[in-house]
Structure 1
Amino acid sequence: MLLRKSPSLEATIRSSEITPQHVFEQHQQTRRRFLASAATLGAAALAARTLPSLINPPTTVHAAGEPLKAIPSKYTLDDPQTPFAKASTYNNFYEYGTDKSDPSHEAYRLQTRPWPIQITGMVKKPQTINIDDLLHYRPLESRVYRFRCVEAWSMIIPWDGYSLSEFINFCQPLPSAKYVQFFSYNDKKVMPDEPSGYDWPYREGLRMDEAMNPLTLLTFGCYGQVLPNQNGAPVRVIVPWKYGYKSAKAIVRFHFTDKEPATTWNVADGREYGFYSNVNPNYDNARWSQAHERRLDTSLLPRNIPTQMFNGYGDQVASLYAGMDLKKFY
């Protein structure tokens, strides 16, 4: 039975890990100078000089690392992994600001214990469980995945978790449930930089066969430690063949439904953010070509490489979309 009480583990920040105010202000001034200069200087030349410091700022704030026990997985890659310093300071997490460096400076406010998780909708038994029961429900695997953003940058990250299908089986969805929707945590007290104009909380969703695919990872850690707050603590999903915004962060509710669920970015701009959002080099959205990507790895500057269909996971997932027009069903 999963409903047992777990001791409260308050997320803490050591004072030595908090960015000094003058360093943060210096970084913000550098960013403003970069944006102002971009109007008059060649963008490519300017980016070559400035991008490394934006991707890898000198300091970062993140939750104190706690080691995770994870067994090796068959899902791995030989590609050079993105250094943790980059993966934890270059993030999309709009609840903490729209600049890539904002989450690493602002997400320290989030307390990840206690963390109740709701299971709702078309399930045999709606219920609420706690994060530690979810964390310990199955042994964790360490999986090295490609992570591709719709803005055409990518990383190689070792994630720790287990297949979402295992948790869905525990939830016992009814046969009529065709989709699972994810709701992220939302609280203006700890997310003061959350931009207006969006229908918060953040919502994402998958078709049930996508959610049940073995690649879809219920994720609790990365780089062998618990997820830093800015990377989606304490629990998120990783869907490696889709653009990154499909991989919902800081999940507090799993909702099962028979109708395609509304998702935050699709509601905000359906031209750019489709429900399926499979990585597709042959389909460009309104602002970005998807034919190439900037790989953030151990190189000083991003490497420009060709984008792979389904982010390179076609052998495992292409059959899910047999007969579908992947431009119409973007």
Structure 2
Amino acid sequence: MFLRRPADIRPSQITPESVYRRRRELLRQFALAAPAALLAGCGRNGGAAPAAAADPATLPKELTIAKRGEYTTPDAQTRWQDATHYNNYYEFGTDKDDPAKHSGRFEPQPWTVEIAGAAEVTGRFALEDLLKPHPLEERVYRMRCVEAWSMVIPWVGVPLGAVLKRFKPTSEAKYVAFTTVRRPAQMPGLSYPVLDWPYREGLRIDEAMHPLALLAVGLYGRALPNQNGAPLRLVVPWKYGFKGIKSIVRIEFTTHEPKTSWNLSAPGEYGFFANVNPDVSHPRWSQATERRIAGDGGFNLFGNRLVTLPFNGYAEQVASLYSGMDLHRNF
């Protein structure tokens, strides 16, 4: 079964409007001075106090969302506590609870992003300038991790393609490369050679321009906690979670396929495309089923098992991107 169309979704299945209502708080969060601006994983994070409270009601930084996105799902949403305390973000540690415990010292403001490569407009841009022309929207996406677990998260952000088009990529731009910030003093996991830091990821440019791809600045109507990739991360719901690079500081348009962190570290386990494909097993476990961490917390290793869907259930929207490709070889 594939993703249901928005017309099939009942209002009761959408995140309550009470979790995102104060536009003034959003403007303060991103330092947006222009009054006309409309704003609104799968990961592991590590040394100071926890970076986010368990209850979103205790967090002050609410986002005003211009609209609910066209793409969503009626699946039961993962609890805030689980989505923000069961993460992969190796820059803060390799255990699932390390990111929430050790990312408190990380400073996501102020923030700039460098735009480079094969584009007419390049340079360094403040986060507020990067996002300002685009209204924030909420999209409820299924997110699948290669470790065979999944979550359903209401992300807040702007379509990646809309942002990229502003910089007028040239005909030479075939790929988009992303780089995570590298701050050893604030990211204790960088002291361990788990990966070749900084973290790097990439997409083919048609993937990056697909309307499902999102640059996220929040979840559950709140600004991103540090452990979830504050202040800016990538969300590509038809791919495994390691493609969702966090704390982005550089976006580059490239001619050749960019090197990516997990593909460099273990090319036999992590392919460049990373499309969810239940027919391609990880060398150490099957990807045919997944453990859904949903509204009840769902940490029973033997419960909440679901059949994994091709492209994570988004085949109707994205399968055409890979027409004619061998998806066993290009995994």
Q: 1:89 to 1:170 in 2, by over 3 A?
A: same
Following superposition, the deviation at residue 107 of structure 1 comes to 1.0
The one-letter code of the counterpart of 1:312 is G
Aligned CA-pair RMSD = 1.7
Q: 1:143 to 1:308 in 2, by over 3 A?
A: same
Q: Which of 53, 63, 68 matches 2:63?
A: 68
Q: Is 2:84 the counterpart of 1:83?
A: no
- Assess if the C-alpha contact under 8 Å between 2:131 and 2:163 holds in 1: no
The one-letter code of the counterpart of 1:134 is L
Matched with 1:285 is 282
Following superposition, the deviation at residue 65 of structure 1 comes to 4.3
- Distance in structure 2 (CA, Å) of the matches to 1:137 and 1:154: 32
- Distance in structure 1 (CA, Å) of the matches to 2:164 and 2:304: 37
Following superposition, the deviation at residue 298 of structure 1 comes to 2.0
Matched with 2:16 is none
Give the % identical residues.
Answer: 48
Number of aligned positions between the proteins = 277
Following superposition, the deviation at residue 9 of structure 1 comes to 6.6
Flag as ranges the 4+ runs of structure 1 deviating above 4 A: 6-10
Q: Which of 202, 208, 215 matches 2:205?
A: 208
TM-score calculated relative to the size of structure 2: 0.81
Following superposition, the deviation at residue 121 of structure 1 comes to 0.9
Q: 1:7 to 1:143 in 2, by over 3 A?
A: closer
**How far does the alpha carbon of each residue in 1:145-175 deviate from its partner, in whole angstroms, 9 at most, with x for none?**
0000000000000000111000110111111
TM-score calculated relative to the size of structure 1: 0.81
- Distance in structure 1 (CA, Å) of the matches to 2:131 and 2:285: 37
Matched with 2:98 is 102
The one-letter code of the counterpart of 1:89 is H
Matched with 2:138 is 142
- Assess if the C-alpha contact under 8 Å between 1:8 and 1:114 holds in 2: no
Q: Secondary structure at the match of 1:156?
A: strand
Q: Is 2:89 the counterpart of 1:93?
A: yes
**How far does the alpha carbon of each residue in 1:240-285 deviate from its partner, in whole angstroms, 9 at most, with x for none?**
0000000110000001100000000000000000000100000001
**How far does the alpha carbon of each residue in 1:92-117 deviate from its partner, in whole angstroms, 9 at most, with x for none?**
00000000000001111111111111
- Assess if the C-alpha contact under 8 Å between 2:278 and 2:288 holds in 1: yes
- Distance in structure 1 (CA, Å) of the matches to 2:295 and 2:252: 39
Mapping 1:141-290, distance limit 5 Å: 141-194=137-190, 195-290=192-287
Q: Is 2:122 the counterpart of 1:126?
A: yes
Q: Secondary structure at the match of 1:206?
A: strand
The one-letter code of the counterpart of 1:127 is G
Q: Secondary structure at the match of 2:82?
A: helix
- Assess if the C-alpha contact under 8 Å between 2:29 and 2:61 holds in 1: no
Q: 1:65 to 1:289 in 2, by over 3 A?
A: farther
Q: Secondary structure at the match of 1:305?
A: strand
Q: 1:60 to 1:187 in 2, by over 3 A?
A: closer
Q: Is 2:318 the counterpart of 1:317?
A: yes
The one-letter code of the counterpart of 2:63 is L
Following superposition, the deviation at residue 136 of structure 1 comes to 2.4
- Distance in structure 2 (CA, Å) of the matches to 1:205 and 1:121: 13
Q: 1:109 to 1:9 in 2, by over 3 A?
A: farther
**Structure 2 unmatched runs, 5+:** 1-26, 32-48, 54-58
**Structure 1 unmatched runs, 5+:** 1-5, 11-58
- Assess if the C-alpha contact under 8 Å between 1:135 and 1:220 holds in 2: no
Q: 1:84 to 1:199 in 2, by over 3 A?
A: same
